[in-house]
Each structure stands twice: as C-alpha cells, then as structure tokens.
Amino acid sequence: MATDFWMPAPICLIENRNGQLTENREALQVLATITQPVVVVAIVGLYRTGKSYLMNKLAGQKSGFSLGSTVQSHTKGIWMWCIPHPKKPNHTLVLLDTEGLGDVEKGDNKNDGWIFALAVLLSSTFVYNSIGIINQQAMDQLHYVTELTERIQAKSSPSTAGAEESIDFVNFFPDFVWTLRDFTLELQFNGQPITSDEYLEKALKLKEGTSNEVSMFNLPRQCIHQFFPKKKCFIFEQPTSGKKLAQLEKLQDSELEAGFIEQTESFCSYIFQHSKVKTIQGGITVNGPRLEYLVLTYVEAITRGDIPCMENAVLALAQIENSAAVQRALAYYEEMMNQRVQFPTETPQELCNMHATCEREAIEVFIKDSFKDVDQKFQKKLESQLEAKRDAFFDQNLNMSAQRCRALLQDIFSTLEESVKQGTFSKPGGYSLFQQKKQELIEKYNQQPKKGIQAEETLQEYLKSKEYVAKTIEQTDLALTAKEKEIVEEQMKAQAAEAAAARQLEELLKRNQEMQKQDTGRKTIPARVEAEVNRIGRRLRKLKF
C-alpha cells in the first residue's frame, strides 16, 4: 500500500445482522491491497462509552467512526479504518471499532462474546473502554475475558489447563490497554499518589482464599493476568458537561476540558509509539492480505459453529503463502536463467554453473517469503520443481543448439547440394572432387561460433543423412572410370591391329617386289596378291574410321 493511501472514512469489516456475523467483501478488498506491515488497534466496551471518539482521535479526525448521540448503539459489527501510521514509516495503522457490548436492543447478546473474541484475535493492541472506576461491577462487565478459552482455541491439540494453556494464549494475544472514561477519583493509595498503571495493578490484585466468592472475584483478574502480560491503563476525566456531550465530535478543543485533551493526547501518543506490528505464531509479520485471511478464517469458523483455532489459522495461511512463495521462487529462477544464460551454451558445465547460482537465489527468495514450513515440506517441493525446470532448460539448450547447427549446415552446404543437383561431380574423378569440397565446408562449419553442445552430433547427423548422395557419386565415378578404361583398351587394341595389318601389307608388297624381280616379264600383280592387298586395305580403313 502506498504511503499516501488514506481511506476517507471507515468501512464495515465484519457485519452483525440479526446476530449473524459475516465479513464484508469490500473491506477485505481494501486489506488485500495493503502490502505493508499492519499495526492493528481494536477497541471494545459497553455501548455508549465513547469508544468511537478515541478511535477517531487515533485517525487524526474529529469524525469518522459513528459516535451516536442517543442511548442507541450505532456501531454494528466491527468497523475498520486504515491509515498511514503516523510514527512508523511504511507501516499501516488499522483501527477496529466494535459495536457496544450489552446493547439492550439486541435482546440476545450471545454474539457479544464473539465480537470480543474477534477483537482479541485480530488486534496487536486491545483497548477495553469502560466508564468510571475499576470495581467489581466493572470486572463483572468484563466477563467476556473469562469466556475466551471457550471461544478461542490456541492450538489444534490444546494443553490441559493452567500455566500451559496460559502460555499458549500469551503467544498469540495482543497487548492490553484499559481506558477509564469519566474518572472522578484522585489517583492515591494510602495518601500517596499513584500512576494509572499502578491503579490497574492494584485493581487486578487477587484475593487469598478458596471460597466460591473469592474464586468468582479472582477469575476475571486471573484471566487478564494470564492472557495479557503487558497491560497499560489510561484515565480520562469527563470531556465536558451537560448536553454538550451529545455533540462531542462537533466541539472545538477550546470547548473541552484541558485535562481531557491532555489525557487523549497521551493515549494517542502511547498507541502510536508502543503498539506493535500484528504478528502470528512464529513471529510472522502480518500485512493486509494476511489480516484479510485471518478475518475470513475466524468468521467462517464462527459461522460453522466451530471454535476459531489460532494455530490452525496460521498453518492454513502458511499453506497458502508457502505455495505462493514456491511459485514466486520458480518465476524468479526462470527469469534469472533467461536473463543470464546465452542459449545455446558452449558446454554443459556452463549451464550447470548458472543453474546452481539461480537455484540458490530462488531458494533464498522462498525462505524470505515463507513461514512455518514444517519439515521443509514446501522447500523440498520447490527443490523438486527446480530440478524439473533445470531439466527443461537443459532440453531447451540442446534444442536451440541443434536448431542453430541445422541452420548453419543448411546455409554452408547449400552450394554443395546445388552442385550435386547440377551434376558437377558426375564425371570420372568426381567423387574425389566431392570429398575435397565437403571437407572444406566441414572446416568452415567448425569455425562458426556459438553452435552449442550439439555441434558435432548435428554435423554427423547431417553427414549421415547425405551418405546416399556420396555413395551415388562414388558409384557413378567408378562406373565412368571403368568405361573410360574400356575405351582406352579398345583404342590400344585397334592401334595394335592397325600396326599388324600395316606390317602384313608391307611384307606382302615386299614379297611382290621380290617376285617381280624373279619374273621380270610379268607386269601385273597376281590376282592372289591383289586380293590380299585389298583385304588388308579394308582392314586398315576399318581400324581408322
């Protein structure tokens, strides 16, 4: 809640309609916005005793909480006014004004005890307001305090009785302030002046004895001693006289008794300086949302006919807040990992180290926001979910690395793939050329930065997917090379045959010349020789063409 937040007027927090208590959703929404620690001051007392006037003074206003000007009780249920704390920066003062106890119009005042109990449960300072002196009649009117153990359960498994029960309540109960209005006596004892606090202590002194009368006398005093170890008393003289009392909120300070003004200022100063922040079991500070939850829990228990249990309320609140703390810690972990990790990482260890740092910080966030994490149940749950988050980031790291590597491979090897399509390597020796080009591109890929931990695996995966292409090029190369060898061999055979035919023709002509020398009279080539020459000639032509 911002420091300039100020409710312009009180709002009903817990309504009392026909003896039925219900929380007011609008008031709860106000509490839900208060993120600061709250100091909760609640006031109770008989109707028409001036409770609302004191609460208005604490709010720094003349009016707000309804004072009323007749014998009719005005405040029904519990009303709330939230203001910035006058003396504690970044704190909110929550004032709770309760309906008057013992209102004759209600006829059945059975829920007066619940109003009293709720004021105790919700406040960090509990103000009991009464008229006149502290005598037996005043103590009898405070009988609600003797019923607290019947209306409030400190633990889910309460102690048997006595000192242990008292300790259970003291751990939860607020400070006690008794305000005595229209006090007319001199504060003296045995002729010596005493303070108002000393007067309260003497009024609460126990009698010795075991009779029923003594027990009845001591019971409310014992309860106050046991449940409220820190006690304070303020006395107020009558503010003015006569009919002016009915217009108290309209009167100027100059129209009021100086002593009353001074006493009111003293009361307000004490509340501002000494009222503690509302806490619950374990010293957990209460803010607006936590106070909202306590209101809901206690009122719903009363409505069901159950006894509100403070420990159960705290445990239930811990369940809700610890679950929320787990989610906040997980969100923090994810945010920090996404901010600090440059995906994909070059090594798995780099990601492990960052996970360890963010995990430690996330657990610190949880511990700061959590409370009453019995057996570290929620912290263990958080750690388990952090492991799952870690595994998800590891998978993300792998996937991002693989995606980047595939994109690089597609870009780098696109020229090679295009050359394959165009048949560049479909020739003798093409496979060797293909292998040389492929190796150059592999080296280029390896030189690219920020490929991540899937670099080699993705490369091998790509190369494997292209094995059939390389095999085809190799087979084509082998086939083309074999055909080329066959052609060369045929050419060599043809050349050899041509040379042999030429030699035969040369020999034939040579023989023919020799025969002509022997038979000088013959002038023509014999038909046998001529046929052989023609045969050889045809063979030569065939070899050449």
**Torsion sign over Cα 5, 10, 11, 13:** positive
Among 135-139, 394-398, 407-411, 505-509, the range scoring the smallest mean pLDDT is 505-509
Number of structural domains found in the chain: 4
213 with 194, same domain: the answer is yes
Residue 6 in any domain: the answer is no
Containing domain of residue 495, as a range? 489-544
Question: Distance between CA atoms of 295 and 322, rounded to whole angstroms?
Answer: 19
Flag the least confident range among 77-81, 196-200, 250-254, 492-496: 492-496
Domain check: are 69 and 25 in the same one? yes
Output the pLDDT for position 541: 62
Q: What is the pLDDT of residue 70?
A: 37
Identify whether residues 288 and 322 lie together within a single domain.
no
Task: Output 284 or 513, whichever has higher pLDDT.
Answer: 284
Last residue of a domain, one of 484, 507, 525: 484
CA neighbor of 84 nearest in space, from 36, 32, 51: 36
Q: Which residue has the higher pLDDT, 474 or 166?
A: 474
Q: Which residue, of 382, 411, 440, is where some domain finishes?
A: 411
Bond into 526 cis (ω within 30): no
Task: Read off the pLDDT of residues 231-276 as tens digits, 9 standing for 90 and up.
Answer: 999 999 988 876 666 667 677 777 888 999 999 999 999 999 999 9
Say which range, 112-116, 148-152, 492-496, 497-501, has the weakest mean pLDDT.
492-496
Whether residue 268 sits in one domain with residue 162: yes
* pLDDT (mean) for 343-353: 93
Q: Is residue 418 part of a domain?
A: yes
Q: How far apart are CA 6 and CA 18, in angstroms?
A: 31
Kindly state the average pLDDT of the residues 363-369: 93
| String of DSSP letters for 394-459 | HHHHHHHHHHHHHHHHHHHTHHHHHHHHTTTT-STTHHHHHHHHHHHHHHHHHT-S---TTHHHHH
Q: What is the residue-averaged pLDDT of the chain?
A: 85
* Same domain, yes or no: 419 and 538: no
CATH number for the domain that contains residue 141 = 3.40.50.300
253 lies in the same domain as 289: yes
How much is the pTM? 0.72
Same-domain status, 479 and 495: no
Residue 304 maps to a domain:
no
User: Residue 309 domain-assigned?
Assistant: no
Model confidence pLDDT, tens digit, residues 119-158: 999 999 999 999 989 988 888 888 888 888 788 887 776 5
What tokens does 367 get?
A: 């511990």
* Residue 61 placed within a domain: yes
* pLDDT value for 2: 43
CA–CA distance, 104 with 286 (Å, rounded to integer): 36
Rounded average pLDDT over 308-332: 90
Residue 343 · residue 400 · CB < 8 Å: yes
Q: Quick one: CA dihedral 57, 61, 64, 67, positive or negative?
A: positive
Residues 90 and 227 in one domain: yes
Q: Are residues 329 and 289 in the same domain?
A: no
pLDDT at 99: 84
Q: Which residue has the higher pLDDT, 538 or 545?
A: 538
pLDDT above 90: percentage of residues in the chain: 48
d(CA 197, CA 7): 34
339 pLDDT tier (thresholds 50, 70, 90): very high
Helix H or strand E segment including 25: helix 25-32
**Are 220 and 73 within one domain?**
yes
pLDDT tens-digit readout, 154-190: 777 655 444 455 566 676 789 999 999 989 888 888 8
What is the reported pLDDT for 282?
75
pLDDT computed for residue 57 by the predictor: 92
Q: What angle do CA 289, 295, 301 make, to 5 degrees?
A: 135
What confidence tier does 108 reach under pLDDT thresholds 50, 70, 90? Answer: low
Contacts of 491 (CB under 8 A, 6+ apart): none
**Residue 3 included in any domain:** no
Q: What is the pLDDT of residue 543?
A: 56
Residue 5 lies inside a defined structural domain of this protein: no
Q: Is the pLDDT of residue 61 over 90?
A: no
Strands (E), 46-105: 78-84, 92-98
Query: Does the residue 196 lie in any domain?
Result: yes
Q: What is the CATH number of the domain that holds 371?
A: 1.20.58
Terminal Cα distance for the chain, rounded: 107
The pLDDT of residue 69: 39
Assess whether 325 and 440 both reside in one domain. no
Domain boundary residue among 365, 387, 411?
A: 411
**Do 440 and 295 share a structural domain?**
no
What is the Cα–Cα distance from 267 to 275, expressed in whole angstroms? 11
Q: What is the pLDDT of residue 191?
A: 85
Q: What contacts 187, CB < 8 A, 6 or more positions away? A: 193, 194, 195, 196, 199, 235
pLDDT value at residue 311: 81
Higher-pLDDT residue of 314 and 340 is 340
